[in-house]
């Protein structure tokens, strides 16, 4: 269908507080041609009627580690763009090119290449180790030359290495994000890093604290125009590895059987309870800090860390949206994070994140109205990715067919090594 009209009950443009009724979207090829009153549609145009649905911009997950077997799951969940925040450089650039040529295979990829780590990294296929600050600078230059979209600095760098990576990336005009486990957020901010992941290093956010204590860090976020991408859902899953509601989740049918087995072997199930309880205790505090940061005007992105433990690609973004709402953020504001705000953070806000003429035809139709009731977010009727109309049932058939092929992505190689290494440590004694 080269030129057609989508006719929903209501449309949300990705920015405003309200939806529009009696309005349709004309798609021509890969682009949105016009937003027009339904009664003004050309009489001969092909129409897709979406009764009872809200049409919103395609969702954007700002923190994933992409697997080729999961492309259809993202699309079925209405996620049309992802930012890969750590992967083998050659592999992810190849995937980015492949999906750009065929939007039916999976979402548009924005990528960082390798997560740049210190000398002894935890992950061997999605991270690259570095001995010193000059090695980090060299890697940044290589990644920029290869055409990545951003630079990711990983958890076990020294302060000097974080600073070197940030300075070199900014010298070359690149956005920098960090999983700063080893350095407090206050220090990371002074290094000029643009965004931090997982609320790592936000020490005040992980404990009970007053608004005044929260504001001391938030003030510095505001001064540096800093972006936060909380990924609450990953900490939630780690803390609830024995929760049977997770295992009964019907959305697990979208996950390759080998990945389900790897999830079942993740070491959090066999380690001492205190490691899990830490995350269970932290979730209310992380939500509190998120709400306070949002209220103060911090730019809040939204991502998931899929396919980490029990995070179904695409659909886990629905869970993250619901956690934002549970934290006290209005549904419309949470949805902005997943559309227009994420698009701006990723530097692609001239193309996606809005239902607007001239933008890519990346849209999703949802039964109900998630601006009124975020629970409706899971009711995906269809997804449009660069003009291609995709239905969840057909996408599931594609996904299940792909399960006949063994997994060999960088992220699954790391997951295998991680669980096998942890199993050996647990058998021999010690801390896994």
What are 116's two structure tokens?
């740049």
Which ranges in 337-409 belong to alpha helices (H)? Answer: 342-345, 392-402
Rounded Cα distance, 182 and 200, in Å? 9
Please check the confidence at residue 427 and state whether its pLDDT lies above 70.
no
Q: How does residue 432 score in pLDDT terms, banded at 50, 70 and 90?
A: very low
Whether cis (ω within 30° of 0) applies to the bond prior to 307 is yes
At residue 430, does pLDDT exceed 50?
no
CATH number (3.40.50.300, 2.60.40.180, 2.30.40.10, 1.10.1740.10) of 1-57+355-390 reads 2.30.40.10
Per-residue pLDDT tens for 319-337?
A: 999 999 999 999 999 999 9
Any idea where the domains of the chain sit in the sequence? 1-57+355-390, 59-352+397-428
| Confidence at 268, pLDDT banded by 50, 70, 90 | confident
48 contacts 364 by C-beta, under 8 angstroms: no
Task: Return the CA Rg of the chain.
Answer: 21
Quote the pTM value: 0.97
Mean pLDDT check: name the lowest of 15-24, 140-149, 400-409: 400-409
Architecture of the domain whose range is 59-352+397-428: Alpha-Beta Barrel (3.20)
What are the pLDDT digits (tens) for 360-396? Answer: 999 999 999 999 999 999 999 999 999 999 999 999 9
Nearest to 205 by CA among 213, 193, 196: 213
Tokens of 222: 């505001």
Centre a 10 Å sphere on the Cβ of residue 335 and count the other Cβ atoms it contains.
25
DSSP string, 169-208: HHHTT--EEE--TTS-HHHHHHTT--EEETTTT-GGGGS-
pLDDT value, residue 102: 96
Arithmetic mean of pLDDT, 283-311: 98
Of 270, 343, 327, residue with least CA distance to 295: 327
CB 117 within 8 A of CB 154: yes
Q: Give me the pLDDT at residue 426, please.
A: 52
């Amino acid at each position: 269908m080269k030129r057609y009209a989508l006719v929903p009950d209501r449309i949300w443009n990705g920015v405003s507080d309200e939806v529009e009724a009696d309005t349709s979207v004309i798609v021509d090829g890969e682009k949105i041609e016009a937003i027009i009153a339904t009664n003004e549609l050309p009489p001969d145009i092909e129409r897709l009627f979406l009764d009872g649905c809200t049409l919103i911009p395609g969702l954007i997950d700002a923190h994933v580690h992409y697997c080729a077997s999961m492309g259809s799951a993202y699309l079925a969940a209405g996620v049309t763009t992802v930012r890969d925040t750590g992967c083998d450089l050659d592999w992810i650039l190849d995937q980015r090119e492949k999906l750009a040529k065929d939007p039916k295979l999976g979402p548009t990829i924005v990528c960082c290449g390798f997560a740049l780590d210190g000398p002894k990294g935890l992950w061997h296929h999605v991270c690259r180790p570095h001995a010193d600050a000059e090695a980090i600078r060299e890697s940044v230059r290589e990644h920029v030359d290869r055409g990545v979209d951003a630079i990711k600095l990983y958890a076990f760098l020294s302060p000097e290495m974080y600073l070197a990576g940030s300075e070199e990336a900014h010298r070359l005009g690149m956005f920098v994000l960090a999983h700063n486990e080893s350095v407090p957020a206050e220090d990371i901010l002074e290094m000029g890093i643009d965004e931090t992941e997982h609320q790592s290093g936000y020490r005040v956010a992980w404990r009970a604290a007053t608004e005044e204590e929260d504001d001391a860090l938030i003030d510095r976020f505001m001064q540096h125009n800093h972006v936060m991408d909380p990924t609450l859902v990953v900490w939630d899953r780690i803390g609830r590895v024995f929760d049977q509601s997770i295992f009964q989740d019907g959305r697990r049918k979208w996950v390759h059987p080998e990945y389900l087995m790897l999830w079942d072997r993740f070491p959090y199930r066999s380690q001492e309870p205190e490691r899990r309880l830490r995350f269970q205790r932290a979730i209310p505090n992380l939500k509190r800090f998120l709400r306070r940061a949002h209220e103060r005007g911090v730019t809040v992105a939204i991502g998931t860390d899929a396919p980490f433990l029990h995070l179904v690609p695409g659909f886990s973004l629905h869970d993250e949206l619901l956690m934002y709402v549970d934290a006290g953020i209005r549904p419309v504001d949470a949805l902005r994070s997943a559309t227009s705000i994420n698009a701006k953070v990723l530097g692609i806000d001239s193309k996606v994140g809005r239902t607007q003429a001239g933008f890519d035809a990346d849209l999703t139709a949802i039964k109900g109205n998630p601006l009124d009731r975020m629970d409706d977010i899971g009711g995906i009727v269809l997804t449009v990715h660069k003009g291609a109309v995709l239905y969840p049932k057909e996408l599931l058939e594609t996904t299940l067919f792909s399960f006949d092929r063994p997994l060999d992505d960088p992220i699954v190689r790391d997951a295998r090594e991680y669980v096998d290494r942890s199993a050996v440590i647990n058998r021999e004694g010690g801390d896994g």
